[in-house]
Each structure stands twice: as C-alpha cells, then as structure tokens.
Amino acid sequence: MVALQPRRQSQEDQLELAATVSVFDPNGTSFEVGGTVASKFLSRLAWSHNGGVVELFAVGSNFPERPGRVGQGTYQRSGWAQVDPWDFIYLPAADRQEADLALGLFREGMSVNSTPFAFLSFFKILNIHHGGGMGQKNWINDNLHRILHSQALDRLSEIQRSESDVGRYLYEEGRCAVAHAHGTPLVNPDSYVDRRRMEDDLTLMKEIAALFIESELGILSASSYWRSLREGGCPGTELLRKVVQEDGCIIYVPEPLSP
C-alpha cells in the first residue's frame, strides 16, 4: 500500500512537516524494495502532473503511522504539495522496465538543480531505444513536426534559422557538450552564454523526451489521458480515487468508470 500525507503544520510542536509518501506492507518488505516502490510512485506522479519531485530523505519503520519516504518539490517548495491531495490521480501503469526507466529519467530531468544535467537526463530517454548517436539524431529530426508546445516550437524556430540539422545540433552541442569536458563543443558551467543557450534548449529537449515517452513507450501524458476519457475511453486501473482512512492517512484506490 502507498499512502500520501500532505504538507501540514504540526499541532504538537508547531513545526511544518513535509509532504510524505509511505509504503506499507503488512507482510513486511525490505528498505530497498520499499524505497524503489516509493521512487517509482513519485516518478509517475511527476509525469502525471508535469512537475519535478525530489526526495529529502528516506526512513524505514515498523510503525505504520510514520512516513517511510519524504518528498520535496523542485525549487525547495512544490506548488502542488501545499494543498490537500487530489480527489483523483492519473497514475500511468508503466509495466515495462524501460518505461520505468524513462519515467525515472524524466523526473530526474524535472527535478535536478542543474540545467545541463536536466538536459542530459531528458536526452538519455532517447538512448533507451537508440544506442548510437545517429539513431537518436534521426529520431529527433523525424518527429519535430509532432511538437505542439508553443515555447518548444519557438525555440525550434530559433535553432532552425542557423541549423539545418536540429538532431545533430541537440546531440553534439547539447548531449555531448554536457557529457564531455575534452574537445569542442563543450558546456562550461561558468559561461553565461552556455548557460543561457542550455536554458533555451532545455524547453525543446523536455518536449522531445515527453513525446518519445508517449509515442515510443505508450505512456499517455495527463492531457492525452484525460482527453481519452472525454472521448469515451475507459480509465482502467490508471485512474485512482482518494480515500481518507480513520487515522488520517490518504490512500488511492482504482476507480473504474463506465465509458
């Protein structure tokens, strides 16, 4: 069982307690298995809400009322962790190992406090299916026409004014330039020019990674999922309903609805 506890004020000691996610198994589990389950949950939540989630620390306990894992938003505070938990959550199944990896990398890209490393995390998602650079560059170029996000399209137009091969540009001047510190091109963390360029490219790379996850791995974005329901689709087990237990813990259970 995975339980959520919203960020709240402690009435006993007047301390602000972080939002928590806990894993409880009445039959017992290991710290490593429980931590992995919690991390996968956070990655699915980050994908569903298109926002970064990082973990402050992890603890284990035999006492079910204490948290087992603690989460924090991207910039020290999460804009959507300060409110009561949602009545419904879309939580993608992602029942393949490569899908799990992609969602983990996507959350890392949304959460890491470094624009170049965030770019690299998003780019690594393409590497799941394409081991070589040529395959990654070709996939980007073949799918640029499917990008819809306005900011990503604006950056794409800017790049195309000077670059005829966008896939090559993002791979060599983005992915390779971040990963290596020998030769050229490279991204210097002290260069304001490099920093600004990476910030601009990050918007486009995030959309490319999201497009790959949805089209190649079959994990619907939140907008695609809710649109499918509006068009008469069946929610299956990916739509979860909030249930508040007697002890105040919140759990989510599948809420199948008739199409």
Alpha helices in the chain (DSSP H): 31-49, 97-111, 115-126, 133-143, 150-160, 166-170, 177-179, 192-217, 222-230
Rounded to a whole number, what is the distance in angstroms from the first to the last CA of the chain?
27
Q: How many whole angstroms separate alpha carbon 131 and alpha carbon 240?
A: 36
If you search the block for the tokens 């926002």, which residue do you land on?
A: 51
pLDDT tens track for 100-144: 999 999 999 999 999 999 999 999 999 999 999 999 999 999 999
What pLDDT score does 208 carry?
Answer: 98
Nearest to 180 by CA among 171, 167, 168, 193: 171
pLDDT tens track for 23-72: 777 777 788 888 888 889 889 989 998 888 877 777 776 665 554 444 44
**Higher pLDDT among residues 91 and 172, named by residue:** 172
Is it the case that residue 10 has pLDDT exceeding 50? no
Confidence of residue 5 (pLDDT cuts 50, 70, 90): low
DSSP letter for each residue of 13-46: T-PEEPPEEEE--TT---HHHHHHHHHHHHHHHH
**Higher pLDDT among residues 145 and 6, named by residue:** 145
* pLDDT > 70: percent of the chain: 81
What pLDDT score does 93 carry?
Answer: 85
Q: What is the mean pLDDT of residues 211-230?
A: 92
Is it the case that residue 235 has pLDDT exceeding 70? yes
For 71, residues 6+ apart whose C-beta sits below 8 A from its C-beta are 18, 19, 20, 21, 42, 53, 54, 55, 56, 78, 81
Is it the case that residue 77 has pLDDT exceeding 60? no
* pTM for the structure as a whole: 0.82
Burial bucket for residue 102 (CB in 10 Å: 0-12, 13-18, 19+): buried
**Higher pLDDT among residues 80 and 139, named by residue:** 139
